Each structure stands twice: as C-alpha cells, then as structure tokens.
Amino acid sequence: MKKNTTNNTLTPEELKELKRNANGILAETRMNFQRMFPFVGSVSMQMDLIPTRDHRNPTACTDGHTIYFDIAFLSSLTREEQMFVLGHEVYHAVMMHPLRIEGRDLSIFNIAADMEVNGILKADGLIPPKELFLPSDYGFPAEKSAEEYYELLLQGAKQNCQMPGGDDKGGNNGTQQSGPSKGMSGMSKPGQPNEKLKGQFDKHIGKSDELNKESGAGEYSDRYGKIGEDEDFTPNVDPRESEKVRSAAVAAAQQIERTRGSLPGHLKSLVENLLKPEISWKEVLVQFTTRTSGFDTTWSKPNRRFVHTGTYLPSHEGNALKLAIGLDTSGSTSEDMVKFLSEVKGIAKSFSAYDIDVIQCDRDIQDVQHYTQDDPFLEGPNKNFKVCGGGGTRLRPILDYIKVNSLDVDALVIFTDGYIETMEAKDDPGIPVLWILTKDSTDEHVKAFGEVVKFAA
C-alpha cells in the first residue's frame, strides 16, 4: 500500500473515498463535453484526469497531457464552472502552453496564456466565471496568441513600473495601475468559496518547473484538514506526450468536419495553428532541387507520368515544384503523423505551382495520392487526410515505386523516425533524397545516400 503523505487528518480510506467521488464528477463533466462540445470532449478522452490533494496544486493544473484537480476545489464548483475549468485545462494542453513558456516571466505568461484560452472558451459558448482574465479587460484585441498578449502585458508593466495587478516592481508602493485590478496569480485556496475562480484559478507548469522539488513549503488546511503532498501529483512536461494531445486535437477536428461539415471559425484557426510547419520549405527545396528559372515547358523531356499510356505531354521546367513525399506510417511514427502532415502542407503552401505525390508506406505501399495547386493537400475535398498503415517498418518500397513508375519528380522527401531497414547505395532512386527525421530519431540507417534534416528539439 502506498504511503499516505497527504495530511495528518484524513485516513487513507477517507482520502480514497473523496478521490472516488471526484473521479465521478470528472467523468460526468467529460460526458457533458462529449455531448455539448465534442471537440473538447474528444481531446479530454485522450488525457488523464487525476484528483489530488496537494499544497502545490490548490486548484487545477496541467503539464500538457495530464490534468490535476484539487478535490475540494472541484467539489466547490457548480457544474458550469466544472466544465469551464476542464475546458480551460484542455485548451492549455492543446495549445502546448507548458512548452511555450520557454524563458519568459512565468507570472506574466500565465495571464497571457489564460487570455488566449478564455477567449476561445467564450467563443465555444461556455459560461465563464464572473472574474476572469480576458483580453478586453486590458483593452487588448481578441484572437491573439499568448506570446502576443505577453508582449502587450510586458509593455504595460514597464510603462507602469510594476507587474500587472499591482505587484510592485519599481517603487510604486504597490499602487494599482490603471485598468482592472486583478491579482497576478489570483490563486485561490479551496475552502474559500468567495475567492474561487478569481482572475486566474489554475497553476501553470513550465518545462523547467521545480514543482516536484518543493517540499513542505506552502502547506495549508482546508475543510478536510491539513494538506501536505500527494503521491498521485506527478506533473512532468514531456514534449512527446504533448504531441499526442496535439494529434488528438487534429483528429477530433477532422471528425467534427466529417460529421458536421464544418468547424467553428475559432476552432478552424486553432487547428491551422497546430498544423503550422516548422521548416522553411521554400528555401530548403529551392536550394535542394537547384531550380532557378520560370515555368517554361519543354518537349525534350516528356512528362513521364503519361508515357505509359502512349501520350506524350511536355514537362515543366523551372521553379514549379515536382516532388515525391514518402510518409513512414509504421506504428512507431503514429505520434509524429500530425507533425508530418503539417510539414507536407507547409511544402504545398510554399509554392504557387506544384505536383506532389504523397506515398504512404509501413512495410508496403499503403496509399498514393497526387496533389496540385488546383487540387491542394489538406484543403477543399482533400481536407480530411486518411493515414494508412500502422504495421512494421520497411521504406524500400517507396524507392522501388518511384523507379518502377518512373515518377516525373525532381526530388524525394521522406518523413520517418529513422528506425527502418538499412539503406544501401543500390537503393538510391537516382534523384535527390531528403530524409526528414523526428527529434528522437536515428540517422544510422540512411547514410548511404541523401541529405538529413532533423526536427528541432
């Protein structure tokens, strides 16, 4: 049996019962979301919701993949407030706020992230608490990113020689700045119902947070007695786990589009942000394929796509992009697929004219689709991309496919984690190859030919 370090008042059995009741509340709240707000509901189903009793988390928080709720705080909320808090934490995770803090001032970024999240929750139609950080409170425009709100808050803090909310940083004797008088952290403690959900109710965790190293500091009591530390409270900001939540968000959005025909504008914008490419593809591929001239055509090099039919058409020359893209769809890359697709979309968006063949392969070729600027990738009729695969890994079939079908392409880009069969010089398809490897990948098996680019850590 685990050692109970939570408090000296509750017995292990009493604490277990309280957590069981809290789990029931969270299950009901999640079901309500599934029925009323399917996007948040679907994403929350991919996250662990854990009730805790720990002085380091007096309300609620997320590390980007798990959401922790203080049991007394949770039970003090109305149903509408419970939904708002859960939605608030889900959106923090979807937007990867724990990974976006970087070197910024945590207290200011907390407010900025809340402004980004709370605006979306209002657009969703959830009932917000009376006191909440909203962009309009500070005269800021809506639909900005947390980073943009951070800069606006930082500028205001510098102009007033203090931090937002009156924390004196410059000799103002704690005088409130003009505007709403909301506290910097606004952290309320359970057992103080009049203060719940004031301004900012959740604790934000950053990548380098020292939360788990705190011991004993800040202990307090609630209606159940003294609060210490809880073994179930184990936040850990893990980029790989956060990627799973991002993938769940994109999948949920695609499912809503399939069943309802369209996404609300704010969700569509959110998903587009999740699918933003990391790599500057126009620069990379123009250099890689050494294309410099215009869109001229030539009969000296017929378009091989139609040769097998007996039809001879001219091929493009110049900076019209002709590319084959290989997607490693084996089981080991399932968590990376959203990232892969965002980069493929980034390639298509970078060129005004293109012919792209997307080849999916695990152990064998699973699917081949052709896209052009008139029939674009992840847009229009193609907006819902079906990933095919999930088995073992063998990417040589992609190279063989290009050779056998004499694809009229200038280069091949392959997205993989690198855990594939070892390539040999004889496998070289005779065109430039660019291997795009995931962060936690190996290039050991792709050294025979081509160039390697790794996603940034």
pLDDT for position 161 = 58
User: In 3-state terms, what secondary structure has residue 324?
Assistant: strand
pLDDT for position 426 = 93
Compute the distance between CA of residue 456 and CA of residue 433 in angstroms, rounded to an integer: 20
Regarding beta strands 66-70 and 60-62, do their DSSP bridges make them parallel or antiparallel, or are they unpaired?
antiparallel
- DSSP characters for 304-363? TTTGGGT---EEE-SSSEEEEEEEE-SGGGGGGHHHHHHHHHHHHHT-SSEEEEEEEESS
To the nearest 10 degrees (0 to 180), the angle between helices 106-124 and 265-274 is 140
Compute the distance between CA of residue 283 and CA of residue 369 in angstroms, rounded to an integer: 25
Compute the distance between CA of residue 192 and CA of residue 209 in angstroms, rounded to an integer: 27
Q: Which residues of the chain have pLDDT under 50?
A: 1-7, 163-198, 212-217, 291-303, 305-309, 311-318
Buried b (16+ CB within 10 A) or exposed e, 367-384: ebeebeeeebbbeeeeee
Q: How many residues does the chain have?
A: 457
Sign of CA pseudo-dihedral 292, 293, 295, 300: negative
User: Domains in the chain and their CATH numbers?
Assistant: 12-243 (no CATH), 275-454 (3.40.50.410)
Q: Is the separation of the CB atoms in 338 and 250 below 8 Å? A: yes
pLDDT for position 72 = 92
pLDDT for position 216 = 43
Regarding beta strands 321-328 and 411-416, do their DSSP bridges make them parallel or antiparallel, or are they unpaired?
parallel
Q: pTM of the prediction?
A: 0.64
In the chain, how many H helices and how many E strands?
12, 14
Which region holds residue 13: left if phi is over 0, alpha if psi is between -120 and 50, else beta? Answer: alpha
Joined together, the tokens standing for residue 41 give 């509901």
Compute the distance between CA of residue 97 and CA of residue 114 in angstroms, rounded to an integer: 10
Helix, strand, coil % over all residues of the chain, rounded to 5: 40, 15, 45
pLDDT for position 61 = 92
User: In 3-state terms, what secondary structure has residue 361?
Assistant: strand
- Report CA dihedral (58, 122, 142, 278) to the nearest 10 degrees: 70
Q: Greatest CA span in the chain, whole angstroms? A: 86
